[in-house]
Amino acid sequence: MLTITIKGSVKFRTLEKDSKIRGEIIKVYNQAPSHVTIRNWTLKVGYYELTRQKQKTDDWIILLDHSIQFSNEKIFVVLGIRESDFLKLNRPLQYTDLNTLLIINRNSWNGKLVAQELKKLESTIGKIKYAVGDYGSDLRNGLVLSMIPHIHDLSHLIALIVEKMYINDNRFIEFKSKMSDMRNKFTQTDISAIVPPKGRKKSEYQSFDKIIKWANAALNLMSDKLNDPEQKHLQEYFETKTLDRIKTELSWISQYSELITELSEINHSIKEVEKELKNNGLSKLSFEKCKKILEKLESDNGKKFKEILISKINQQIQLLPSIDTILFSSDILESIFGKYKNRVSENPMASTTCLMLIIAAFTCNLTEENVKQSIENVKIADIKKWSQENIGNSQFKNIKISLSGRYKKTGGTFLSKTENF
């Protein structure tokens, strides 16, 4: 059950219902556990993983970030892996490669607070060799104050380069505006299938791969390249009259063919560079491979992108000249945040609760021994105490207290529990 809910991201109530159905059909359980029990088991695993004693060494690599802002609340998460363990891997990081070192919630964060938490952390785990994360001001300032080298996460680094290159490019601005007009005009129509995808507002320059694929498909359609596998379905799906209308509505795309070719070229090189550096880490060998990939760029902006990216990567190497292979991506932490968001997304009143312990549960190796230790040794009282120390009352709990009548203010006084309002 813990494997299903933690690794499979199955909600607690769903798992309870599934257990009852299985019990009725194949008599698996005498009595299926309730969703509350399953939730408590999961929180115990998370608490166990977070609080278990970590090795005190001098080679910790940490991944850190803030995320999930509910109202004015922000969670600060630090994951870690020993450099000796990282160097044994010949693949990208997986959840269970990591140790959850810190999960803490505050209404606001700054560099000084981040530095304080990192100092406390080093007192328990030993020396932090370097950190990987984005260049958010709180994290950057906190790492500077802590004198911990800061490797800029590759995806965020590339996104910032692309943003600076295109944020004031009139061609790109007009192109985005045209796509937005199409979404507004045709989303609720019979030709909604050709509406361009919507980029993520907060990370627009990290996620334009779908937009470029759509733009290339639209160009192929306009040039009658319907033998393209991605376009064949249009010929089958739409009548000739409708297809002609689609071509009319997409006629503007041809004006941006040069821009689309340029972006496609850059995007292709980005994917190849990311594959190399995320799979193998940043080393002299992987850096040389990336240079060869970037040499293929032919457009003026492509060559400009190549020069900037090579310079930025070289700066990261110079931060840690004595290290042969550097961890260059915090994607795994972003993925964990995504799984956590999925668990809380169904509740519109969601705020930070002790459920954030599931972040630690994601990194737990669910062996029989670890599960046994967590279930038997962690008490619900331990979780409540941790929650009060690291979270306090959630937004939802404060609302419930207010609506109970005990704390409703009227002219500076509190109504009793029996008074109505």
* Same-domain pairing of 219 and 205: yes
Average pLDDT over residues 344-372: 84
* Same-domain pairing of 314 and 339: no
CATH number of the domain enclosing 127: 3.30.420
Position 8 scores a pLDDT of 87
Residues 142-168 have pLDDT tens digits of 999 999 999 999 999 999 999 999 999
Distance CA 323, CA 15 (A): 46
Give 419's pLDDT tier (boundaries 50, 70, 90).
Answer: very low
Query: How confident is the prediction for the chain on average, in pLDDT?
Result: 86
Find the domain containing 101 and state its range. 49-151+330-390
pLDDT at 88 over 50: yes
**Tokens read off for 326:** 């550097």
Position 412 scores a pLDDT of 47
> Within 87-239, where are the H helices?
111-125, 137-146, 154-166, 170-186, 209-222, 232-237
Last residue of a domain, one of 277, 302, 324: 324
pLDDT at 390 over 70: yes
* Same-domain pairing of 135 and 174: no
Q: Please indicate, yes or no, if residue 395 is contained in any of the structural domains.
A: no
Residue type, 29: Y
* Same-domain pairing of 182 and 244: yes
Q: Which of the pair, 221 or 184, is modelled with greater confidence?
A: 184
* Same-domain pairing of 296 and 266: yes
Position 403 scores a pLDDT of 66
Residues 319-335 have pLDDT tens digits of 999 999 999 999 999 99
Position 138 scores a pLDDT of 92
Average pLDDT over residues 104-133: 94
pLDDT at 416 over 50: no
* Same-domain pairing of 135 and 181: no
Q: Would you say 153 and 64 are in contact if contact means Cβ atoms under 8 Å apart?
A: no
Strands (DSSP E) found in 337-408? none
Residues 30-64 have pLDDT tens digits of 677 888 999 999 999 999 999 999 999 999 999 99
Q: How many domains does the chain have?
A: 2
Position 404 scores a pLDDT of 64
DSSP state for residue 193 in the 8-state scheme: G
Give 421's pLDDT tier (boundaries 50, 70, 90).
Answer: very low
* Same-domain pairing of 291 and 310: yes
Distance CA 299, CA 304 (A): 9
Q: Please indicate, yes or no, if residue 221 is contained in any of the structural domains.
A: yes
- Our CA dihedral for 205, 209, 214, 215, rounded to 10 degrees, sits at 60
Q: Which of the pair, 237 or 314, is modelled with greater confidence?
A: 314
Sheet holding 126-133, edge to edge: 99-106, 73-82, 57-70, 126-133, 150-152
Average pLDDT over residues 2-18: 87
